[in-house]
């Protein structure tokens, strides 16, 4: 995930066909292995402006910054359909109250189902046509990477954290270690790493709060059930 995330977010290149047959593990390398990517025939290079906006989008998706997502949606040309961007990339609705990895609540799924029922065929067609061509290539690559992660038994957390990390790297100034001052390079990398750690800490806190809320809900349900059982027992006696 980090290899492909760096390729897209930092360097602006999309490997068009990253299926398992195009990814080899070599027994050579600094850590006893290295990844070897094959089939470079359908690479695409992202426009620099789109690359920056895509990095901004993922930062906003991770934080569920609705205003920023809407702003970027207008820049991408998707208009009112911006609200479906979180659903496409992270599996959350635009007004989700769940954590990034918590999935949608039953109520969110119900509301989304009703909303999708109201969509007409021309709405779907209009949305697909409004997407920049780069999106279709990114979605294909992302879909294949999701499949690989699933087949390896890894959590989608790996994907999301890799995208968050390299989206921030992609937004940091591009420095040349050979020509820029050493202190400038180190400080820039340190700033990016701190931003990533802050973002990851925020996600961990949100997940912890969600877990606490789930435990509280379970205890409330358990308490109600216990009272009912006690009443039944009393009535029976």
- CA 237/CA 232 separation, integer angstroms: 9
Q: Beta strands of the chain (E only): which ranges?
A: 13-14, 23-26, 34-37, 44-45
Catalytic residue among 17, 39, 53, 65: 17
Contact between 187 and 202 under an 8 Å Cβ cutoff? The reply is: no
In angstroms, what CA-CA distances link 58 with 1, 21, 69, 73?
Answer: 15, 28, 9, 12
Got the DSSP string for 135-177? HHHHHHHHHHHHHHHHHTT--HHHHHHHHHHHHHHHHSPP--T
- Our answer to whether residue 123 is catalytic in this structure is no
Q: Which residues are catalytic?
A: 17
């Amino acid at each position: 995930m980090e290899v492909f995330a760096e390729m897209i977010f930092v360097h602006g290149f999309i490997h068009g066909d990253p299926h398992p047959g195009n990814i080899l593990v070599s027994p050579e390398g600094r850590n006893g292995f290295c990844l070897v990517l094959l089939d470079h025939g359908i690479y695409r290079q992202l426009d620099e402006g789109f690359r920056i906006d895509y990095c901004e989008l993922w930062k906003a998706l991770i934080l569920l910054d609705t205003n920023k997502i809407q702003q970027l949606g207008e820049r991408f040309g998707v208009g009112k359909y911006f609200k479906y961007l979180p659903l496409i990339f992270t599996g959350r609705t635009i007004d989700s109250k769940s954590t990034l990895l918590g999935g949608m609540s039953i109520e969110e799924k119900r509301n989304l189902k009703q909303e999708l029922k109201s969509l007409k065929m021309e709405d779907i067609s209009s949305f697909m046509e409004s997407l920049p061509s780069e999106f279709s290539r990114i979605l294909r690559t992302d879909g294949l990477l999701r499949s690989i992660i699933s087949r390896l038994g890894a959590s989608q957390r790996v994907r999301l954290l890799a995208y968050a990390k390299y989206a921030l790297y992609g937004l940091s100034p591009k420095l040349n270690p050979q020509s820029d001052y050493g202190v400038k390079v180190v400080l820039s990398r340190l700033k990016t790493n701190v931003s990533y750690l802050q973002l990851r800490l925020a996600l961990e806190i949100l997940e912890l709060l969600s877990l606490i809320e789930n435990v509280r809900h379970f205890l409330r349900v358990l308490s109600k059930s216990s009272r009912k059982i006690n009443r039944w027992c009393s009535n029976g006696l």
